[in-house]
Amino acid sequence: MLASALVMLIVLLAISVPIAAAMGVLGLALNQFYSSMPLYLAMGEILWNSSSEYILIAIPLFIMLGEILLRSGIAERVYAAMAQWLSWLPGGLMHANIGTCAMFAATSGSSVATAATVGVVALPQIKRHKYDERLFLGTLAAGGTLGILVPPSINFILYGLLTNTSVPRLYLAGMVPGVLLASFFMIYVLLSCLAKPSKGGTPIETSWRRRLYALKDLIAPMFIFLIVVGSIYAGWATPTEAASLGVLAALLLAALERTLSFAMMRAVLEGTMRTTAMIMLIILAAQFLNFVLASIGFTDGFGKLIEGMGLGKYGTLLLIVAFYLVLGCFMETISMMILTTPFIFPIVVNLGWDPIWWGIALTVLIEAALITPPVGLNLYVVQGMRERGPIGDVIWGALPFVVAMMLLIGLLMAYPDLALALPKLVMG
């Protein structure tokens, strides 16, 4: 059953069937071949229950927040400020790429939005300052993945919904790993440019006066981060309410910058609806497929198969890591999380791993899926904005950053408190 389901899914994806449609077709096919009951008759109730969760309202709100920052020009000014402060390092603006991605991630909650926003303002710098193109593109694709690890994160909201885990605790748990991963990315760029200085391009002009003046442009994302995350931990707002506060704060900043207009809001709403529709369709299709998999006994059977191997706590986890790395080459990240969590999560918890810890580790694995071919979304986002050259340049530029992600997974396995210490300290 497992083999036939995976083959069918890979075939559907290989012939360019959209992921939501592929999961829906797979669910109907498995129902036809492995169940004597018409499970599709329950589809209406499944879709309604899946889409009526209150916390899901936070998803379009965080997407809208990112759209406002992009359309209002705030993201461009943040990039310019980060360039003033980080461009002195070997690697120059590539450090600004990662730093801006990390800062934007602290407001948008979406990896694709993060990669797209920073890419728009960063890509013209490749030729202007003669950077190594592959490495520069890799920093954009990999840096964008920070959008789902640095809180607030859309993926943490979905994981919390699927596992009944505290979203505020997940946000706290993601802070230290997020900073570590951004640091690993920058260290790789630093070492690459020290080994081959020509990769680092020509430095930009800067001075302490310019750096200090640029600090004002970093206030906007810090203000929004404090509004969103601070309101949650102060007990003033739920994650959904905090997302709405973030949108209001972004609109206020856009108004102060005099970029708020009808045309801008139209573009914001169109972008929000387009992305939200895509995500919700994936969520609904994955929930139906999960219902079919559970009904035909796949979920229980897979768990017993893994536990029956007798690999132990760490061996089983390494097998699961390998499973996600392979699956991430073929599946979109949100669908992968929703599809696999119902049968992977019980295995991980039964092994003795903390649910909050696994939420962070899973998110890092999903980040790797964003930059592994052939379905890595961030690869196509960066290539789409680049509008020239082979996508292989983006792929080869991004792959070394997967190693940094696996290093973080190893550290999290060896030192779980890297993720758990902050939630314990703040929330007990």
Q: What is the C-alpha to C-alpha distance for residues 28 and 288, in angstroms, rounded to an integer?
A: 9
Q: What is the C-alpha to C-alpha distance for residues 320 and 335, in angstroms, rounded to an integer?
A: 17
Q: What is the C-alpha to C-alpha distance for residues 366 and 409, in angstroms, rounded to an integer?
A: 12
Q: What is the DSSP string of 199-235?
A: GG-PPPP--HHHHHHHGGGGHHHHHHHHHHHHHHHTT
- Model pLDDT, residue 365: 92
From first to last of its 428 residues, what are the pLDDT tens digits of the chain? 556 666 777 777 667 677 778 888 888 887 777 776 776 667 777 777 767 777 788 888 888 888 888 788 887 888 888 888 888 888 888 999 999 888 887 776 667 777 877 888 888 888 888 888 999 999 999 988 888 888 888 889 889 988 999 988 999 999 999 999 999 999 999 999 999 988 888 878 888 888 888 888 888 888 888 898 888 888 888 888 988 999 999 999 889 888 889 999 999 999 888 888 888 888 888 888 878 877 777 777 777 777 777 788 889 999 999 988 888 877 777 878 888 888 899 889 988 999 999 999 999 998 888 888 877 778 888 888 776 788 889 899 999 999 999 999 999 999 999 999 999 988 76
Helix, strand, or coil (residue 415): coil
Instruction: Please give the span between the terminal C-alpha atoms of the chain, in angstroms, as a whole number.
Output: 43
- Model pLDDT, residue 40: 65
Q: Which residues of 316-342 are buried (b: 16+ CB within 10 A; e: fewer)?
A: bbeebbeebbebbebbbbbbbbbbbbb
Q: What is the C-alpha to C-alpha distance for residues 390 and 405, in angstroms, rounded to an integer?
A: 25
Task: Count CB atoms within 10 A of the CB of residue 121.
Answer: 20
pTM score = 0.86
Q: What is the C-alpha to C-alpha distance for residues 168 and 428, in angstroms, rounded to an integer?
A: 12
- Model pLDDT, residue 3: 63
Could you tell me which of 283, 289, 298 has the C-alpha nearest to residue 25? 289
Q: What is the C-alpha to C-alpha distance for residues 100 and 53, in angstroms, rounded to an integer?
A: 32
Could you tell me which of 89, 18, 11 has the C-alpha nearest to residue 377? 18
- Model pLDDT, residue 109: 64
Positive or negative, the Cα torsion across 232, 237, 238, 241? negative
Could you tell me which of 26, 5, 6, 2 has the C-alpha nearest to residue 326? 6
